[in-house]
Structure 1
Amino acid sequence: MEDEIDIIIEGTKEAMGNALKHLEKQLVNIRAGKASPSMVGSVMVDYYGSPTPLSQVANVSTPDGMTISIQPWEKQMIPEIERGIHLANIGFNPMNNGESVIINVPPLTEERRRELAKQAKAAAEEAKIGVRNDRKVANHDLKGLDISEDLKKSLEDDIQEMTDAHIKKIDEILAKKEKEIMTV
């Protein structure tokens, strides 16, 4: 019986932790005005006939806060990298200087910042829903166990505390991201 309870609690903790990780991955993709190599993370390049992530055919760096520099390992890949950026439809216009591909990241407008903040809020709300669903599943699993009502109530309280802690963490992550987005 003790093992089943531990499995439910640990599984719930892991599922809630995964919701946080997923949120953090989603928020990385929401750009906050500063250039970042992750902005071109979704770009696929045709590398000798097979689609390959950009990071596997070039070195991606940010020499300053408004520029992404893509230095291919093979010069003949420059046109393919430019094509990949256009096809990824991420809103950037790549420039080719013969040696590398440079992307100037334009500063965000106030309207665009608000849109990005809304996207971040929506992602955070999804994460909260996931955490609450994990709580619901755990409580349902506990109801199926043959244990005393007092122990059940105590375990439900523990799961609620875990839920509250994860939702608080989601709110902290969101506040940090919103501040990052709205900072000019």
Structure 2
Amino acid sequence: MSQPILTDMQVKMKKALEHTLHEFSQIHTGKASPTMVEAVMVEAYGSTMRLKECAAISTPDARMILIQPWDKGITQSIVKGIQIANLGFNPLVDGANVRVPLPELSRERRQEMVKRAHGMAEDGRVQVRSVRRDAMDALKKAEKDGDISEDELKRCEKEVQAATDQTIKEIGEHLAKKEKELTTL
């Protein structure tokens, strides 16, 4: 009976970790990456869609993002979408393409990014702890209902805590790596 609870907990913790890592990938470190702009919302064809759904995004070099719209008519909408997203980029139209040069990060901006990364990591830890609480509650309810024994409850609680500690440790390791990326020039 305890196995579905533990399996569900592991899946949810993995999702919380993946979400946190995805959030980290959106913090730019001065090195160009398509993930920096692919979620930008663009007005196209009478609706709003993600940039990655209406253009090819590449990085020809470490300080430039190149966006090639599949329809030349939405080039200005892409520029407007990037400006509205307030990412700190100044897109330039180059024929049918949009070039996004990355500005050099100042020390203050780097520290701001580090703070943002710490906030994202804390959000991830909170999600993991929430999953732990839900799993513990489900296990205690199962023990109260007589579905699992007290010994099994104790064993499962240790498993839940071990999984929680491991996931939080992974978030911390990725945060340290991101912080090092952001602070090294």
Per the normalisation by structure 1, the TM-score is: 0.91
Residue of structure 2 in register with 1:86 after alignment = 83
Residues 143-169 of structure 1, C-alpha deviations (whole Å, 9 max, x = no match): 122233222211111111111111111
| Structure 1 Cα separation of the partners of residues 160 and 181 of structure 2 | 32
Q: 1:116 aligns with which of 113, 116, 125?
A: 113
CA distance, structure 2, for counterparts of residue 72 and residue 137 of structure 1: 45
Q: 1:49-88 alignment to 2 at 5 Å?
A: 49-88=46-85
1:45 and 1:133 map into 2 onto residues whose CA distance is 34
Q: Give distance in 1, aligned partners of 2:53 and 2:168.
A: 36
Question: Which residue does the alignment assign to 1:28?
Answer: 25
> Matched residues in 2 for 1:43 and 1:176: separation?
25
Contact residue 31 and residue 62 of structure 2 kept, 8 A: yes
**Are residue 172 (structure 1) and residue 169 (structure 2) matched?**
no
Q: Taking structure 1 as reference, are residues 98 and 154 closer, same or farther at Cα in structure 2, changes over 3 Å only?
A: same
Inter-partner Cα distance in structure 2 for 1:85 and 1:155: 48
Q: Does residue 153 of structure 1 match 2:154?
A: yes
In structure 2, which of residues 128, 131, 136 is the aligned counterpart of residue 131 of structure 1?
128
Matched length: 181
| Unaligned runs of at least 5 residues, structure 2 | none
Deviation larger for 71-80 or 102-111: 71-80
Query: Displacement of 1:89 after TM fit?
Result: 2.2
Which aligned pairs between 1:39-54 and structure 2 lie closer than 5 A? 39-54=36-51
Measure the CA separation in 2 of the matches of 1:153 and 1:124: 29
Percent of matched pairs sharing the same residue? 44
Runs (4+) of structure 1 moved beyond 3 Å?
none
> Within 1, Cα distance between the matches of 2:97 and 2:107?
31
